[in-house]
Amino acid sequence: MIGLFDALARPFLRTLDPEDAHALTIRMLRLAPLPRAARDDKRLATRAFALNFPNPVGMAAGFDKNAEVPDAVLRLGFGFVEVGTVTPRPQAGNPRPRVFRLDTDGGVINRLGFNSQGADAVLPRLAVRATATSPAGGGGGIVGINVGANRDTVDRVADYVALIERFATVASYVTVNVSSPNTPGLRDLQHAAVLDDLLARVIDARERVMQSAGPTPVLLKIAPDLSLADLDDVVGIARSRRVDGMIVGNTTVSRPSNLRQTMKAKEAGGLSGRPLFPLATRMLAETYVRVEGVFPLIGTGGIDSGAAALAKFRAGASLIQLYSALVFRGLGVVAEIKAALVDALERDNLESLGELVGADAAAVTADPWPQ
Ligand SMILES: Cc1cc2nc3c(=O)[nH]c(=O)nc-3n(C[C@H](O)[C@H](O)[C@H](O)COP(=O)(O)O)c2cc1C
């Protein structure tokens, strides 16, 4: 089924405007009678944030923003899916066109700006799943939710708090997204004093609803564009506020000097895909050495092969997420990555990927800074 989709639908989708192609893909996933994914190799099973992941390869936020197809995504072979970003109230996002494919570079630039159907539309979709299965991961598969503030909100922190309170019961984990470059001022929430207040109130909200929702893990998703001094602060605060993990990271506003599609690269927005890999992996390793094993990290940014996935684990990721590679490599990339991870375990005679996590972090942080 996946091979058929890649062979037939993808060449056609590539001729469409990227956002139309995405909308059509979501519609196909809603309708396609996908069989349950084959059982994963036991050695890929990963425990993190007190959740049991059947495999460590996740769908990154932004693909299923409104939780329309989380179970179909799991059936594609992903070990977990992060839906969202969802905002409290519905909002349209920026004017189109706002997604651009850099085909030669294997990159995507988007400035969607949190187009979201809003919490009232998204919540019931996850609630149906949660009552049919166990929300705390396991039974029905792990579905996290990524939350963000409305563009025109007067109190950003209150938006995050409200979303945590509402979604903690229906999501396996909640990601606090303070790193999207397309909502003006959002990334300022990464500044020390503001972040400390935000995380204190978010964790407080999680504790408040714990009785009914259980101990929902709270993750922090950061931008790869932070300075190392800012990263010191961010990790220090994440540790002192006891978040359960971090995602490193979101799209970059930088433009690597070796991009070939220089005209398209001028489009405003966040760059993802292969050109993001060196910076995102460096920031992952920098985060790993600062976290000192206190909580696990999800490595995201430019994973488009087994080798790239392996490099993320070695740089410090316990789990990985991808999105852009699906555009360029198709759905088959998920199975390819999982097979490459099993091969690596066999080659080195390891029992689990945990043994590789962070093995190269020190070496990566000693490299020259990616250009
Ligand atoms: C079209 C598009 C939309 C995205 N929307 C979101 C979003 O709503 N929230 C979020 O946290 N990240 C979003 N992202 C970022 C991804 O989750 C991921 O962090 C980033 O793309 C790097 O991974 P990749 O190189 O595998 O795509 C989006 C990425 C793309 C390409």
Set 180, 272, 318, 324: catalytic member: 180
How do residues 140-162 score in pLDDT, each as one tens digit? 899 999 999 999 999 999 999 99
On average, the pLDDT of the chain sits at: 93
pLDDT, residue 186, reads 82
Q: How far is the CA of 183 from the centre of ligand 1 (A)?
A: 14
Local confidence band at 36 (pLDDT 50, 70, 90 cut-offs): confident
How do residues 324-346 score in pLDDT, each as one tens digit? 999 999 889 999 999 999 999 99
User: What phi, psi does 47 have (nearest 5°)?
Assistant: -105, 125
How do residues 46-104 score in pLDDT, each as one tens digit? 999 999 999 999 999 999 999 999 999 999 999 999 999 999 999 999 999 999 999 99
Average pLDDT over residues 214-238: 96
Residues 6+ apart with CB under 8 A from 361: 285, 288, 289, 314, 315, 316
Ligand 1 atom closest to Cα of residue 175: 11
pLDDT, residue 133, reads 55
Local confidence band at 184 (pLDDT 50, 70, 90 cut-offs): confident
Both tokens of 325, joined, read 């590679």
Task: Identify whether the C-beta of residue 55 lies closer than 8 Å to the C-beta of residue 46.
Answer: yes
Residues 6+ apart with CB under 8 A from 267: 100, 109, 111
Residues 6+ apart with CB under 8 A from 141: 54, 70, 71, 74, 80, 81, 133
| Pocket of ligand 1 contains residue 221 by CB under 6 Å | yes
Instruction: Output the DSSP codes for 5-74.
Output: HHHHHHHHHTTS-HHHHHHHHHHHHHH--PPPPPPPPGGG-EEETTEEESSSEEEPTTSSTTSSSHHHHH
Is 240 an annotated catalytic residue?
no
Instruction: Output the DSSP codes for 131-158.
Output: HHS-TTSSTT-EEEEEE---TT-S-HHH
Instruction: Output the DSSP codes for 60-123.
Output: PTTSSTTSSSHHHHHHTT-SEEEEEEE-SS-B--SPSP-EEEETTTTEEEE-----B--HHHHH
Give the burial class of 305: count Cβ atoms within 10 A of its Cβ; 0-12 exposed, 13-18 middle, 19 or more buried: middle
For residue 236, give Cα distances in angstroms to 137, 141, 232, 248.
28, 31, 6, 15
Task: Identify whether the C-beta of residue 356 lies closer than 8 Å to the C-beta of residue 350.
Answer: yes
pLDDT, residue 139, reads 55
State which of 272, 279, 324 you would mutate to test the pocket of ligand 1, scoring each by most atoms of that ligand within 8 A of its C-beta: 272
Tell me which DSSP letter residue 219 carries: E
Using the structure block, give the residue that is written with the tokens 């990339």: 333
| Pocket of ligand 1 contains residue 110 by CB under 6 Å | yes
- % of the chain surpassing 90 pLDDT: 83
Residues 6+ apart with CB under 8 A from 50: 215, 217, 244
Q: Cα 322 vs. chain centroid, distance in angstroms?
A: 7
Ligand 1 atom closest to Cα of residue 251: 20
